[in-house]
Amino acid sequence: MSQLYQRLLENNKTWVAKRIASDPDYFLRLSESQSPKFLWIGCSDSRVPANEITGTEAGDVFVHRNIANMVVHSDMNLLSVLDYAVNVLKVRHVIVCGHYGCGGVKAAMGNSNIGIIDNWIRHIKDVYRFHYRELDAIEDEKVKFDRFVELNVVEQVMDLAKTSIVQGAWNKEQDLWIHGWVYDIRNGLVKDLEVNFGSNEELPDVYKLEII
């Protein structure tokens, strides 16, 4: 076994010792329950760790990550996480956080046949199709890529609003907000896209559900 791998287990012991030294009840407290106020839907990219970039701790953020931070309505994993976060944990904010330089979004701009992932990437290509007038008009490939990342986040926020889970919570007047962010891996800063929804009012009528 490699030293690289063993290092993680060593790091874990060091971390536990440090935690206990500064807060003897840290693990006891966390082991009793969790009541995070945030659900994070982010990219699997190793450079975008939810807790680190938001200065939050274990217990603060319920996390779901997949390639290109997608909200796909047939994804049971996403739906289960969302349902649990909204209806059981009663988080107050759901944040979709994309990031510039996202490999999934980059792949969606091209035509490579990569494998099974093509079927996942296709959902991102749909975002391009919705916004092709704006995106095709951008000549600079880097600017276009950055804008595509942003538009993908906006569409995922809209997709969250379309779910029966989020609309059901709003229907019960649960205090639930959904937001779209983009993390800049070049400087560490988060850009708030200011797509903040706390009701289904912004949704086109066809998506509004009459939830009883």
- Which positions are annotated as active-site residues? 43, 45, 47, 99, 102
Smallest distance, Co ion to C-beta of residue 43, A: 3
Smallest distance, Co ion to C-beta of residue 142, A: 16
| Alpha helices by DSSP H, 84-175 | 103-109, 117-130, 132-136, 141-162, 164-171
Taking the least distance from each CB to Co ion, the nearer of 102 and 176 is 102
Give me the DSSP letters along 157-200: HHHHHHSHHHHHHHHTT---EEEEEEE-TTT-PEEE----BSSG
Taking the least distance from each CB to Co ion, the nearer of 36 and 101 is 101
Q: Would you state the structure tokens that stand for residue 43, as one six-digit string?
A: 């990219």
Sequence-distant (6+) residues with CB within 8 A of 150 are 98, 182, 191, 193
Smallest distance, Co ion to C-beta of residue 46, A: 10
How many Cα neighbours within 13 Å face the side chain of 19? 14
Taking the least distance from each CB to Co ion, the nearer of 45 and 146 is 45
Residue 159 pairs in a beta bridge with none
Taking the least distance from each CB to Co ion, the nearer of 152 and 167 is 152
Smallest distance, Co ion to C-beta of residue 115, A: 17
Nearest to 163 by CA among 35, 34, 41, 8: 41
Q: What are phi and psi of 86, to 5 degrees?
A: -80, -45
Q: Is 148 left (phi over 0), alpha (psi -120 to 50) or beta?
A: alpha
Footprint of Co ion (CB under 5 A) = 43, 45, 102
